[in-house]
Amino acid sequence: MFTLGPGTASGLAAGSLTLSSVIGTESGTLAQLGLAKDVLEQQEANVAADYAAWVAIQSHGMLLVGMGLVVTLVPLIVTTLFAHRLLRMNPVIICGALAGAMTVDAAVTGACEVAESQTPVLGVAVPYAVGNVVLTVLGPIIVASTFAG
């Protein structure tokens, strides 16, 4: 169904052991795999990121996963219902708008393939622009408020 790269697997393993020293060991092991420099750097970044994610999941439990699902799915569901029921928008354009709002280019391509037309692209432009601005503006604000002592 999905595969884990060496960095992701190493990071999850390090996080499950909650030993930060394992990160150094895993990075050294990755270096011995003979990967290209850019791939090695990406995998080493994955080790640290996945370690941090695993530690966060261990400390906050399934609440963290559940809140991630809620924050991701509720806006999509509400937007779909609003656009379809109240605005009477074409469902294909709604799919494009949702993909644009989530700033996922691959989702736009997938919607176009499923629709067998370029119609979903009509709904992408404005939500994509707004989504990028919101991500850019709110990202630092959320991080700053999280770490404000």
Residue 55: its pLDDT value, please?
79
Q: Using H for helix, E for strand and C for coil, what is the string for the chain?
A: CCCCCHHHHHHHHHHHHCCCHHHHHHHHHHHCCCCCHHHHHHHHHHHHHHHHHHHHHHHHCHHHHHHHHHHHHHHHHHHHHHHHHHCCCCHHHHHHHHHHHCCCHHHHHHHHHHHCCCHHHHHCHHHHHHHHHHHHHHHHHHHHHHHCC
Highest mean pLDDT among 14-28, 36-50, 59-73, 77-91: 77-91
Q: Is the pLDDT of residue 63 over 80?
A: yes
Domain ranges of the chain: 6-60, 63-147
Of the pLDDT bands very low, low, confident and very high (cuts 50, 70, 90), residue 19 is very low
